Every structure is written in C-alpha cells, then in structure tokens.
Amino acid sequence: MNTAFLVVSFMNLAFVLGLLLNLGGLLTWVERKQGAVMANRIGANRAYIPVPVGRDPNGAGGFKWSKRFTLMGLFHAITDGIKMLTKENFTPPFVDTFVYNLAVWFSAVPVLVTFAVVPFGGPFQPGVMMSEVLTMVGMTGAAASVGGFFGDGVYHMQLANLNVGLLFIFAIGSTGIFSAALAGWSSGNKFSLLGALRSSSQMISYEVFMGISVLGLLVVYGTVDFNEMAQLQQQTWFGVIPKWGVLLQPHMFFVFMTALMAENKRVPFDMPEAESELVAGYFTEYTSMKMGLFMMAEFLEIAVIAGIMTTMFFGAYHIPGVVAATDAMHWAMHPELTPVNAIFGAEVPHALVVVLRVGAFLFKLIFFCWLQILIRWTLPKFRYDQVMKLGWKYMLPLSIVNVIATAAFMYVLGGM
C-alpha cells in the first residue's frame, strides 16, 4: 500500500459518497416530480429562494422580494433535509432506547456499504489520465509531476476490489432486515411490530430466491467478482451483440429485479410500511432525521439496486459497440464500429475512455432509478398473500429450475 493508492481510494470514496448521497436527495424530488408528470400533474413547485428584484410598490424605498426561484421544485429536497434536521428529535418514553437508536444505523449503513463493490468505471491509470488532461490545458510541468506520483499504476474505479463481490452484497444487504425488525420491535407499538413482522417475512422470503436467481448467471460468468463480470460482458456475439447478463438470462433479470425491489420495501412491495394500514409500519415511532434516515435509506437503495442491476445485467460501464482492446493496459476504441475513432484515430486518450465509461455507468444507473420510480407509480400494492405467493410459488421454483437448466446447458456446451 503506497500513498498513491491511498489518494486514489479517497478519490473513489469521495466520488461514491457524493454520488450516492446526492442521488438519494435528488431521488426524493424525482419521486415526486416524476409521479406528478406521469399523472398529468405539476408536482413539487412551492419551495423557492426569494431574490430581491425591483422596487417595493408600497414606496417604502427598500427592495421588494419579488422574484422567486423555484427551479422546478428542486429546493423541496433541500427543505426536506432542513425540516428533518431541525424537527424535534423525540424519543417516545416506551421504546427500548438502545435498540431503537441502533435500528436507524442498520437502515442506512448496509445500503451505503453494499455500493463499495460496485465498479463505476473500469480499471484506470490516474497518472496517464491526469498527465493527459494537464498536458491538454498546457500545464506540462504539473503533468510530469502528477504522472511521476501515480506512475503507471492501474487502479479500479471501485471502493473495494473484492473478489467475492456479489457474495459481499448478499451478506451486507441481508443485514438490512435488522433495521426493520429491530425498529419495529423496539418501538413498543403494535403497528410497528406488525410492520416488522411483515418486513421480516417478506425480506427473508425474497432473499432466498434472490441468491438462487443469479446463480445461473454466475455459472455462465464463472466468477462472483464484479470487475471480472464487467470485463466478461464486453465480449460480443458475432462482434456485434454484447454478451450482457440481460441477454444471457433475460428471465432472471425480472426475477432478480423483483427480489431487489421487494428488499427495498417500496410500493408494489410496501407491506411493511403500508400507510393505509399501519400508519408508517416499522418506523411509525421515529421522528426528525431518524425517520429521515429510514426514508433516505430507501432512496439510497434505489441507487444501489440500479448499480447492481447495471453491473450484473447491463454491461456495467460499457457502451455497446465501444469495446476495449485485448490489452488491458492499452485502451483503444473498436476501430471499425465507432465514430470516436474517426476523430481520435485508433489511439483514444485514456481520459476520454474514463469519462465515457463513468458516463455510461451513470446513464444506466439513472435509467434504472427512473425505471424503479416508474414501477412504483405504475403498479398497485400487492396484497400480503400475493407477495408470499409470488415469492414462494413462482419466483423460487423458476430460479431453481433456471440454475439446473443453466448448469446442464453449460456442461453440454463446455463453457461460454
């Protein structure tokens, strides 16, 4: 471990945290605004920043706060944050205080931690990239010193380059159930307890086939490392069609997505919260930012789910048709397919490759966030028996059959 590695890690950390937390806040706005547009409404539009423009018509002489910048209601996310931070942090007297407070951390932390293994860009060489950029703006001296500091070391755009990536996600993700269970139990409220019971059974049920559903994909990939998965997905059939997970196992895409959304406890699967029945379910007794963290965790989880789906099924950070050459250290665009080569020739600057990859990842991530919110505003809530029936009677058998079939297929073919 050297200094350059630490610097790169902190860069990654800053990027991921900035991405996730901003996305979490932004998604609260997207949730409202997208739902409004889908329903022919206007949506959030009241929070604003007043700007002193123009004279006071009453002749008092001062400025009149006449302009309002609503910015499409984007300030609602900020006002929500201010509201939740400044509201009374009330702890009901009947709760089990330690567990009650512990549950809040169990809600947000596992969600953030799971994103650690998601690669948001491919392997990259910070020294090469930065010296390219600095040279371009004419700072050759700085380019040389930065290039010297980082050398030509290759790093992953990922917080933790674990070779057990998917297993890590399952391991950490399944601790999220503690938040609902502990919060519901410690609240000393029957609604909360009912919500906790529902969330326990729902999440455990869906975790069973969530793991099994991607086993087929793992058999195809032969690895649980997300980086390797990303690399494998840039292969193509006939040089054209990318070997994305969604094309390898399209049915399991639906099953896995269903399971992840059920884990998130949002609308088609919002049994544990169920406003119409259980007030707010397991976090009924929480106030201010403690309640806000539960809400925040849900929106963060949207982004995390989108990241996992992107990485496993949608080619991670790859743009279809724009593939790397075989040499992992030397980056080039696919010569005969991409217009990029028309500009840069066969040799494409490394910085552009990094930007394109991160951009592609973000595009896919945001698409899946949008898709989840679309689903949340489209599908009505399941009944509890329907949730259980869907999980145990359809999804689980389908997953198991898929594992066996895929394994048999792979055995016959002898590899991908």
- Tell me if 48 contacts another protein by CB under 8 A: yes
Q: Is the CB of 42 or the CB of 405 nearer to another protein?
A: 42
The string of DSSP letters for 151-189 reads TT--EESSS---TTHHHHHHHHHTTHHHHHHHHHHHTT-
The beta strand positions in 222-360, using DSSP E, are 236-237, 241-242
How many beta carbons lie within 10 A of that of residue 394, not counting itself?
Answer: 13
How near is the Cβ of 378 to another protein at its closest, in Å? 4
Q: How far apart are CA 257 and CA 268, in angstroms?
A: 12
Residues 70-89 that bind another protein (CB under 8 A): 70
- Tell me if 65 contacts another protein by CB under 8 A: yes
Nearest C-alpha neighbor of 230 from the set 134, 135, 110, 364: 364
- Tell me if 40 contacts another protein by CB under 8 A: yes
Q: Are 358 and 317 in contact (CB under 8 A)?
A: yes
How near is the Cβ of 390 to another protein at its closest, in Å? 9
- Tell me if 375 contacts another protein by CB under 8 A: yes
Q: Is the CB of 15 or the CB of 254 nearer to another protein?
A: 254
- Tell me if 49 contacts another protein by CB under 8 A: no
Sole binder of another protein in the list 6, 10, 68, 344 (CB under 8 A): 68
Residues 319-348 that bind another protein (CB under 8 A): none
Q: Which stretch binds another protein (CB under 8 A): 30-38, 82-90, 185-193, 320-328?
A: 30-38
- Tell me if 62 contacts another protein by CB under 8 A: no
- Tell me if 367 contacts another protein by CB under 8 A: no
- Tell me if 50 contacts another protein by CB under 8 A: yes
Tokens 């976090």 correspond to 283
Kind and range of the H or E run holding 68: strand 67-69
Q: How far apart are CA 110 and CA 331, in angstroms?
A: 35
How near is the Cβ of 360 to another protein at its closest, in Å? 21
Q: Which stretch binds another protein (CB under 8 A): 62-70, 121-129, 225-233, 408-416?
A: 62-70
366: Cβ contacts below 8 Å, ≥ 6 apart: 306
Q: Are 196 and 183 in contact (CB under 8 A)?
A: yes
- The site map against another protein for 254-293 (x = CB under 8 A) is x---------------------------------------
Q: How many residues bind another protein (CB under 8 A)?
A: 28
Q: How far apart are CA 123 and CA 118, in angstroms?
A: 13
Kind and range of the H or E run holding 213: helix 190-221
Q: How far apart are CA 284 and CA 262, in angstroms?
A: 20
Sole binder of another protein in the list 144, 379, 401, 408 (CB under 8 A): 379
Sole binder of another protein in the list 13, 346, 374, 404 (CB under 8 A): 374
Residues of the shown chain interacting with another protein in the complex, contacts defined by CB under 8 A: 34, 36-43, 45-46, 48, 50, 65-68, 70, 254, 371, 374-375, 377-379, 385-386, 389
